A and B are shown apart, each in its own frame.
Chain A
Amino acid sequence: MRLALSVYFGLLLVLTPAVPTIAAPLGVRTVLDNGAVLLVAERPGVPMVIMTLLVKTGAMADPDGRAGLANLTAELLTRGTKQHSAQALAEALDFLGASLNVDTDYETTTLSLTTLTKNLDAAFALLSDVLLSPTFPQEEFERKRKEIQGDLQSREENPGWVARKAFLQTLYPQHPFGRLVEGDPDTLAAITRADVVQFHQTYYRPNNAIIAFAGDISHAQAVKLLHTYFSNWHPADIPPLVWSAPQRHPEERITLDKKVTQANVLLGHEGIARSNKDYYAVLLMNYILGGGGFGSRLMDRVREELGLVYSINSSFSARKHPGPFIIGLQTRNATATQAVSEVLQLVRQFVEQGPSERELAAAKSYYINNFPLRLVSNRDVAALLPVIEFHELGLDYPDRYPALIAQVTREQVHAAAKTYLHPDRLLQVIVADLTQANLTPPPHSSNQPATTGDPQ
């Protein structure tokens, strides 16, 4: 890669000891000449290193009709390179005791490498091979596609999965958040090997990447690794994503009949983006409602008092683009409608009254005191570093965090509940034995609900 090492090293060696702002507590950040952002957290102690390489593109970049392309591309990285067959790669990684995992999400693709320090060089060589020189053999392409199609079929037996799929499809009819990251059997069938090659060429670029190291490694070592193995990785223009904002969805209930003992219920609507100015108020609001486990309003009432569920929770998926707000629960078929009514009542009441001072104090106290506990292991740090960079929070985020939480007022949380919770227009998805649940599906009707309200 074009690291421009002379300037770069000079800067680092001169400035690092003298300017503590570069060496924020969490790690050191460097923008490389090819556009990649490097983050290093030097944490000696255990002779291991975890590297997380985040590509700032995920399933949102799947072209219409080819959902699953980003995921298929990522899954195929380890299935053959210029230097190694898939089997040779697998054996080499195992011999080193290294693990290399790939994870595709809507907005990002993450490669994580875990290795012993003594094998760092060899393991990183394999990673660079996988990242820069995959060959996407036709045979492996066919086999992996079939395997993902089979996995998708297999998951249909999981009622929670069925509910989630229907929920997202309905909430985001014209938006990639309504599709599965894995795609579906038909869109997978439409993908060609050429699409995969093109996707890799387009998006796996240093100027679209964040590289984080945590563990028994120095900043200089990390730089040397990148210089040695990524020197042929060149930047290129990344095409912007063009998606119109999803439309608000009107109130609707979808019921799906399945021979299950337990109804799987999802309730929700559109949520917020991570950059939303009210993010911290929403975070606290959701903790009190149903994100805070035991002690949250949903858990206290629906589980502890009524014994209707084993688990119930609420969440906002605050991505760069607004992800969904979802309340999820499972209860036996016969109590499905009772559980839904209870939840609706709790949400309405919460919107009307807002949180108590005591609830807010407990939520704030949890987040402020919990943050250091999220940064204990190398794995914790290697996971958090690229996320902080992706959302442009800054490496001083851990220092700023307590104040961000502490300054939120009860009025702000109440306002957040009123603004971002909409009990009057919840999308409900219930997967259940409808007869037992006393939910007779209405005669088949149009699946094209008229949308109301303004686009976000």
Chain B
Amino acid sequence: MVLQRNPIVTWCVVVLTWALLLHVALLHAEEKPWPVTQDTLPNGLTVLILEDRRAPVVTVQVWYKVGARNERLGSTGISHLLEHLMFRGTAKYGPGEFSRLIQEKGGSHNAFTTDDHTVYFENIAAPHLDLLLDLEADRMANLILNQAAFEAEKKIVMEERRLRTADNPAADLWEQVSAAAYTAHPYGWPVIGWMHDLEAIELEDVKKYRETYYVPGNALLVIAGDVAADVVLAQVKASFGHIPPAPPVPAVRAQEPPQRGERRVFLRRPASLPIYMAAYHVPNWQSPDSFPLAVLSIILGGGRSARLQKTLVEEKALVLAADADYDRTAHDPPLFTLFLRIAPGKTWQEAETALFQEVEKLQTTPVTETELERAKNLVEAGFVYGQDSLFYRAMQLGLYAALGDWTMIQRVVPGIRAVTAAEVQRVARTYLREENRTVGILIPEGPPPARESLETGISDSAVH
């Protein structure tokens, strides 16, 4: 499964969880500090254990700090392809055994790849933790990659690309916008990879990639649930301790230079209605501006009363949907994205004018204290609701630990709380500027939708 920083990606529960995590991006631990135990094994593997005894279950996540940002043109998509191949078996657990063993114990498992990470996860009844540790340690060290499985998996990933991008106009446009917005940084190419790169990648490339990045020092193991930290740590040492250490992974040196003028991308393809996106380069968590930017994204696109919803969807009825997206937890500086699905009978030009009026309002007039408080309340409540899900808590731990320090979780809600109206206005002025903007416009073109050219055939013989 591929996750892209894309405001309109909503395929499955995991994607939704992730979107919530990135969009609302928050957390604190004032009332209840997180009972987290952290340790690093001699081989470099970082282990984080969260004791949460509310239900007799456990979540295990292995975070490899490798994703599209570590790739090169010519082999884009290799991180995600490797994610798929990690399910193809080892000498100890042959093809299919991984899924079978987990499912027969009632557990679930999956994996996803982003610009920054490749994450494998399982949920299961707490007594079966040992099995999960054994399975993950085994495939970290002993994955078998053969040509037949590789060829089959490449075909599967190409189908995934067709499903997610080629036949999905909004995702297709997002790919074009990213490619235009980033000229020198890997965030410009799609996590799933360009189709010709997928065709060209060879088994040897994947083997080398795996040897470089799937090493204990580049991984985080997160265990959350009905467990005792000291017992678990001993189990982890027994499962993962024997995996040899490896050299540090190569640093990503790429940086995106400042943008010096608006870029416009037009995509003409079959679609029902026009789609419009505006994406601005912004800093990530490393900048104090990231908190006001997060609040700004809520004021524009979060909750039911957000400005874009109120003005563009409801009052002016120019668009069917409007959203704002900002992920302050990106490893490198991300995009602040505004997304509009144009309503029938309206033009993207009308919608764009109305959109920029909203942006300008934020630049010229400070938001009211009530509106600011509302945005902050949404963030804080979102944090509390997140605690309902063990899986989500584990995701938060992994995400912040991968950035370097899981305790940053505890500084998010206070950081959001401290944002002032003047700061929101300042970041709107600083970053939502024309010359810092990449605009993408999807213009529907080609044959009319299928419903208008419906051909029905009834045949008894043609079926087989």
Contact = CB atoms under 8 A, between A and B. Distances in A.
B106 A373 contact: yes
A97 B55 contact: no
Contacts, number: 238
A105 B215 CA distance: 47
B450 A306 contact: no
B443 interface: no
A303 B457 CA distance: 28
Interface stretch (B266-274, B331-339, B421-429): B266-274
B455 A251 contact: no
B272 A259 contact: no
Interface residues of B, number: 81
B104 interface: yes
Given A97-B381, A306-B152, A373-B125, A330 B162 contact: yes
A261 B156 contact: no
Interface in A135-160: 143, 146-147, 149-151, 153-159
A441 B455 CA distance: 6
Interface string A249-261: 0011111111111
Contacts of B373: 95
A255 B106 contact: no
Interface string B290-333: 00000000000001110001100110010010000000000000
Given A258-B449, A330-B162, A369 B105 contact: yes
A321 B343 CA distance: 36
Interface residues of A, number: 92
B272 A156 contact: yes
B460 to A, nearest CB: 6
A156 B456 contact: no
B450 A257 contact: yes
A258 B320 contact: no
Nearest to B95: A304
A300 interface: yes
A369 B108 CA distance: 11
B411 interface: no
Nearest to A94: B303
A346 interface: no
B103 A366 contact: yes
Given A146-B317, A444-B455, A369 B125 contact: yes
The CB with the most chain B CB atoms within 10 A, among A305, A310, A377, is that of A310
A207 interface: no
A46 B388 CA distance: 7
Interface stretch (B69-77, B164-172, B351-359): B164-172
Given A252-B458, A259-B270, A294 B96 contact: yes
Interface in A89-141: 89-91, 93-98, 114-116
A309 B162 CA distance: 10
Contact of B107 (A150, A159, A373, A445): A373
Given A156-B272, A306-B152, A441-B455, A371 B106 contact: yes
B384 A47 contact: yes
B365 interface: no
A394 interface: no
A315 interface: no
B-side interface mostly: mixed
B120 to A, nearest CB: 14
Nearest to A448: B458
B444 to A, nearest CB: 8
A348 B381 CA distance: 52
Contacts of A275: none
B244 interface: no
A253 B272 contact: no
A308 B160 CA distance: 10
A370 B106 contact: yes
A210 B157 CA distance: 44
B458 A373 contact: no
A431 B54 contact: no
B92 interface: no
A257 B384 contact: no
A408 interface: no
Interface of B: 54-57, 87, 95-96, 99-100, 103-108, 123-125, 151-160, 162-163, 166-169, 270-273, 303-305, 309-310, 313-314, 317, 320, 341, 343-344, 370, 373-374, 377-378, 380-382, 384-385, 387-390, 444, 446-447, 449-451, 453-460, 462-464
14 contacts: A46-B384, A46-B388, A94-B304, A94-B305, A95-B370, A165-B451, A251-B463, A260-B166, A307-B153, A372-B55, A372-B56, A372-B106, A373-B106, A445-B456
